[in-house]
Structure 1
């Protein structure tokens, strides 16, 4: 099977990430078979798809079509048995992942890729005990995956290189931007980069240097604007002027090393969590969460569409 032969996508787990994937795959014209054991999951999935459809239309994915109805089945085995590709987005619990992959591996056709949205598990952990470990990999999206294009593709030593190629070709054919993570790491790549920022952000709030709102302002109205356009390596090249990255490293490098030496090492104790939660709640108090999410999605679509028109950005 090639990625072009994929007609039915199995969506396992229809929480926040799984529902977003289901909406995206439906908008791309696939038959979607979904399953989730949680009470009311089917209705919540239908509701999510309806809310997601305007953004998918504006991205040009749905192209004005009426939302298709996902096929919702009670059985995990029934779901994956019908699928040509599986996107699993279940709970981040080792016992649930283990049971899920053992059953999916037993019920899905041997050439069907089983891709996980997991943020924290390594492919080798998902493959343990499976008869067909070569088709199991990580296809880690970013929230919300029906809008944000990045997918991190991760395999283990046991993953078939052909499966990695097929998965990457499949995601790319749908307009996703992929990176191939060449070694298993906890949290893959982008979450590790985020975690490095969170560590210092939490330290600054926990030690009273700034509030949660001020940390957010420091990113959202400063470097975050540039990060939405290009990553730290290209920004370093541009920041070095005519001398490029070499001049940037020579000029900023000593300051960076002094900052690294002073970065905080924050442990999420009960007191630290309390400080972070209270400061964040103070920032959220005057805001309407539902309206904020709508605004977020609208601006994300605007930004993605604008970047698509750019000729000289990566």
Structure 2
């Protein structure tokens, strides 16, 4: 992990799965973290989550100043955000709730602080409506597990300044992330829209009895997923075109895009489909608990991230 930082103190507001993932990432990269969550038992759950993830971040590589002791829980939001260089909001995905929490953060935060929201789909312009200083607000959408996956989508709203977008980019990069600025806001941003399209098609395949959940997962795991982890869809297809690359690929396979291979609309989520999906996943998991599967996932991701860094710039 990088030893360079643009700042040292982060406030985390809301400590569910994503909030705790952020805490772990920032601690692993040598930041001081102040956390606030009014839910009973939040601190105990957060520290347990960090302990569970720490082995994985150690394998990935810790900052020389990394320490779990640099986490402080406080009893008020005001106390959490004062003095923080970045405030990361992670409350439930309800627009009005987020607007109100962000307004309170905006009221108490230092004037130069970046305010980021972990929303996975709400437009930043909606979220910054109640802010007195909307220019320093960005959506900073991470991916689970946040402490391992490096992508963060940075999206500004109508009132976000380019200065703060760039400031946010540098800040998240200093936490060993791969920031990506999305110039035009749209629901779901980029990565989730791509995943949602695949998810809809996967549900159709299961619903229509074409494949089981295990077979769909196998199709991705041992097919497209292996290539996408290194290059993504565009470069994968570029290589599929031979020496002429994408130019030949589009010429040869472009017409196939008009064939009705995929269904853009999601299937109705009937009780039967839900049960088929749930039963399929539980059968595939077997007697392995979610915690065990998470540990195996983390071990795999650490190795995969190293491979991606070695074989693709």
Counterpart-to-counterpart distance in 2, 1:42 and 1:265: 38
Quote the offset at 1:65 in angstroms: 5.3
Structure 1 residue 62 displacement after superposition? 4.2
Displacement of 1:66: 4.8
1:24 aligns with 2:25: yes
Q: Could you say what secondary structure the match of 2:10 adopts? A: strand
Paired positions, count: 310
TM-score of the superposed pair, with normalisation by structure 1:
0.93
SS of the residue corresponding to residue 228 of structure 1 reads: helix
* 1:135 aligns to 2:136 (yes or no): yes
Q: Distance in 2 between the 1:297 and 1:262 partners?
A: 32
2:164 equivalent in structure 1: 163
Match of 1:168, SS state, is helix
Note the residue ranges of structure 1 that are not aligned, 5 or more in a row. none
| TM-fit CA distance, 1:294 | 0.6
Task: Report the TM-score, using the length of structure 2 for normalisation.
Answer: 0.94
**Alignment RMSD (CA, Å):** 1.8
Deviation string 1:93-148 (CA, Å, 9 cap, x unpaired) is 12320210110011101221100111021111110121000111111111011100
CA contact (8 A) 2:13 2:90 kept: yes
Q: Give the superposition deviation at 1:251.
A: 1.4
Per-residue CA deviations over 1:34-83 (Å, capped at 9, x if unaligned) read 01111100011111111211111111124595532411012111111131
55-64 or 92-101, larger mean C-alpha shift:
55-64
1:276 equivalenced with 2:285 (yes/no):
no
Offset from partner CA, 1:17-40 (integer Å, 9 cap, x none)? 111110111111111000111110
Cα distance in 2 for partners of 1:99, 1:193 equals 30
8 A Cα contact 1:9 1:84, kept in partner = yes
User: How far, CA to CA, are the matches of 1:289 and 1:28 in structure 2?
Assistant: 27
Which residue in 1 is equivalent to 2:114?
A: 113
**Alpha-carbon distance between aligned partners in 2 of 1:97 and 1:139, rounded to the nearest angstrom:** 14
CA distance in 1, matches of 2:262, 2:167: 43
Q: Please give the alpha-carbon distance, in whole angstroms, between the structure 2 residues aligned to 1:250 and 1:24.
A: 44
1:211-290 correspondence runs (5 A): 211-260=212-261, 265-290=266-291
2:43 corresponds to 1:36: no
